[in-house]
Structure 1
Amino acid sequence: MDLISVSAGYLVIVFFLGLVYLCLGAYWFIEAAISISLRFEVPKLLVGSIIMSLATTSPELMVSVISVLKGQVGLALGNVFGSFVANIGLVLGVAGLIRPIKVSYIIIHRQIPFMIAALMVLVISSLGPYIEMWEVVAMLAGLVGWLIWLVCNVQGDEGIPDMSLDCAWWVTVVWFVMGVASMQWGSGLIIASAESLALVFGVKPYVVGLTVVAVGTSLPELASGVYGAIRGESSLVLGNVLGANVLLLLLVLPVIFLTSSTHVVLSDKLFDYLFMGLTSVFLWLFSMGFDQEWEINRYEAVIMLSVFGVYQFLLLR
């Protein structure tokens, strides 16, 4: 879609239209994923960590792949790094304001440390001249190992999601297909409009990816986070966010590296790594709790939202 010659106002409309398609597609996709999980009685933490996170990360994956194929690697990388910070600072911040988020032992001692370890591996890999193939393979291997560990170690006593299953199997299939198609169409609109807006306002595509596109593609996580907080489903909320961030690091980034026609250099992304690490450490500390309650309370949620706000301000100033 060629939007280079149209007005900025029209580009904004196209961008938000793309977000509507993207979020609608993500909603259908999430409904299909949860429906499948209920049929097979999958525990809550697995639903959030694998099924819902795969569904809610699909917009980031779609946007990133289309961006790379169009030669906008910076936009794809910005989308990944910005979404990582938004998932913790924005999504958990808003969810924690609605209701304090209870944190289980496995999340504190296994899930969060693994996410931080994956981030540290990325930072170390970025110190080289470019990301090499063996590093991509190592990331994908880490993802497979994480998925196998989750399936083998998360016990059924986490409980099955408290949701009703009142649809036929063919409805689930329709939701799934419509969700994928809608997300693909929405991603195309977002990329085309964001690319043109960057040219109109003289903003680097990487910054557009870190801010507007990242927040836009994190809306499915935000929607599921708000829904889960209202329902008091802390395992779903945290599992979704942590799972999505692991997928961003160990699935979406490797896909970007593999589809890019040129070597991807990350040695200049230390500013973004700083905030990715800061939000991750805050999440770990708040989860353990200075009050020994193992929950993210409203005061801590405000701090996480503030860190996200500072990050966005520094990017756009």
Structure 2
Amino acid sequence: MLYSALALIFGLGLLVWSADRFIDGAAATARNMGMSPLLIGMTIISIGTSAPEILVSAIASMEGNPGLAIGNALGSNIANIGLVLGITALIAPLPINMKLMKKEIPLLLGVTLIAGAVLLDGNLSLMDAFILVTCLVLSLLWMFKGDGEGEFDHPEDIPEMNGKKAWFWLVIGLVLLVASSRILVWGAVNIAQHFGVSDLVIGLTIVAIGTSLPELAASVASALKNHHEIALGNVVGSNIFNLLAVLPVPGFFAATAVEGEVMSRDFPVMAGLTFLLAALIILMRKKGRISRGEGGLLTAIYAGYLYVIYLAAV
């Protein structure tokens, strides 16, 4: 327990530091390559911060804990919207990108419906996994199409780095993000298992929060640096990756039974938050930003969800 607690503390500290270095490296690299903040958020940051989820899901599936893997994917999406976007909006209201609303948000809604259809029969098979991965390839092509033409909203806020230094901090930051996430999750899972919590609950809560901390750290850091498109694009991109790259992982190892609570409680909450985010973007488009009020609403919903999980576990 002592080592697990130390892992939690050390992992969190390293996570926050490495997220800041990664954002600087990613933004400087984007500037040097002429890429838009949205493209950086939807690709480099999304892939990098989704790596812990993929790693944890693969390890859990190989060790015979597919419930943890499924809970990780769905729980991370719930945490990304309720916790990451909620807290980020509380810290710094997020401007609404019309391009995001017209393109990536509909894509996320469609991916959410496809994931629900795949899980509806209560089983995650190899065919289901291939369907989701095929959708991932198509989604990547869709996200890349035309995104390279954007401009930085606040170029003066992007650190001045030469190519080698920018790539150094991008790579080092990414490696430390993955490593620190793994350390933190290892400690959290050991603590949770010590108290006899189920694999699904561990995946939905401890692991989901732990592996979503890179998104939280990166989004808060980018919001404080006024890289607002990176923050919102990061969450949307990460949620797409979670459903299409993390969720299918158990299906590649063995046909996996989906616990009843997933479709009666967890998936509806995830889908509800996803559609709520889309609704908030539409309703707030004239205002031009997701403000602290909306951030408080998302955070409150997430806190309520955790309370429901707690009541079901005790």
Q: Is 1:302 paired with 2:292? A: no
Q: Is 1:206 paired with 2:200? A: yes
Counterpart selection for 1:235 from 207, 229, 232: 229
Deviation at 1:28, TM superposition (A): 4.8
Distance (whole Å) between structure 1 residues aligned to residue 167 and residue 284 of structure 2: 46
Q: Is 1:143 paired with 2:118? A: no
Letter in 2 for 1:52: I
Distance (whole Å) between structure 1 residues aligned to residue 282 and residue 223 of structure 2: 19
- What pairs with 1:97-108 in structure 2 (closer than 5 Å)? 97-108=90-101
Partner residue in 1 for 2:27: 34
Distance (whole Å) between structure 2 residues aligned to residue 151 and residue 10 of structure 1: 43
Moved more, 201-210 or 223-232: 223-232
Distance (whole Å) between structure 2 residues aligned to residue 191 and residue 90 of structure 1: 17
Counterpart selection for 2:4 from 5, 8, 11: 11
- What pairs with 1:213-252 in structure 2 (closer than 5 Å)? 213-252=207-246
Counterpart selection for 2:63 from 63, 67, 70: 70
Where does the alignment leave 5 or more consecutive residues of structure 1 unmatched?
A: 1-7
Q: Is 1:276 paired with 2:270? A: yes
Q: Is 1:266 paired with 2:244? A: no
Letter in 1 for 2:235: V
Partner residue in 2 for 1:47: 40
- What pairs with 1:152-171 in structure 2 (closer than 5 Å)? 152-154=145-147, 156-159=149-152, 162=155, 163-171=157-165
Deviation at 1:104, TM superposition (A): 2.3
Partner residue in 1 for 2:124: 131
Partner residue in 1 for 2:76: 83
1:276-312 per-residue CA deviation (whole Å, 9 max, x = no partner) reads: 0111111111111168424322222111111110111
1:110-143 per-residue CA deviation (whole Å, 9 max, x = no partner) reads: 2222112111111111122522333322222222
Distance (whole Å) between structure 2 residues aligned to residue 191 and residue 216 of structure 1: 6
Deviation at 1:81, TM superposition (A): 1.4
Q: Quick check: 2:49–2:177 contact (8 Å CA) kept in 1?
A: no
Q: TM-score, normalised by structure 1?
A: 0.85
Letter in 2 for 1:218: S
Residue 218 of structure 1: SS of its match in structure 2?
helix
Q: Quick check: 1:34–1:47 contact (8 Å CA) kept in 2?
A: yes
1:218-259 per-residue CA deviation (whole Å, 9 max, x = no partner) reads: 12211222223333333222111100100101112223432x
**Structure 2 CA distance for partners of 1:28 and 1:64, relative to 1, 3 Å:** farther
Residue 199 of structure 1: SS of its match in structure 2?
helix
Letter in 2 for 1:143: L
Distance (whole Å) between structure 2 residues aligned to residue 190 and residue 281 of structure 1: 30
Residue 233 of structure 2: SS of its match in structure 1?
helix
Q: Quick check: 2:222–2:231 contact (8 Å CA) kept in 1?
A: yes
Partner residue in 2 for 1:60: 53
Deviation at 1:149, TM superposition (A): 1.9
Letter in 2 for 1:229: A
Distance (whole Å) between structure 2 residues aligned to residue 241 and residue 224 of structure 1: 10
**Structure 2 CA distance for partners of 1:191 and 1:141, relative to 1, 3 Å:** same
Residue 123 of structure 2: SS of its match in structure 1?
coil
Percent identity over the alignment is 29
Letter in 1 for 2:66: V
Partner residue in 1 for 2:251: 257
Moved more, 103-112 or 18-27: 18-27
Q: Quick check: 1:34–1:52 contact (8 Å CA) kept in 2?
A: no
Letter in 2 for 1:305: T
**Structure 2 CA distance for partners of 1:67 and 1:27, relative to 1, 3 Å:** farther
Residue 249 of structure 1: SS of its match in structure 2?
helix
Distance (whole Å) between structure 2 residues aligned to residue 100 and residue 176 of structure 1: 26
Letter in 2 for 1:246: I
Partner residue in 2 for 1:5: none
Residue 197 of structure 2: SS of its match in structure 1?
coil
1:14-51 per-residue CA deviation (whole Å, 9 max, x = no partner) reads: 23334445555555554444343222111121111112
1:161-199 per-residue CA deviation (whole Å, 9 max, x = no partner) reads: 624454444444544554455455445534543443233
Q: TM-score, normalised by structure 2?
A: 0.86
Q: Quick check: 2:108–2:236 contact (8 Å CA) kept in 1?
A: yes
Where does the alignment leave 5 or more consecutive residues of structure 2 unmatched?
A: none
Moved more, 123-132 or 242-251: 123-132
Residue 257 of structure 2: SS of its match in structure 1?
coil
Distance (whole Å) between structure 2 residues aligned to residue 99 and residue 185 of structure 1: 28
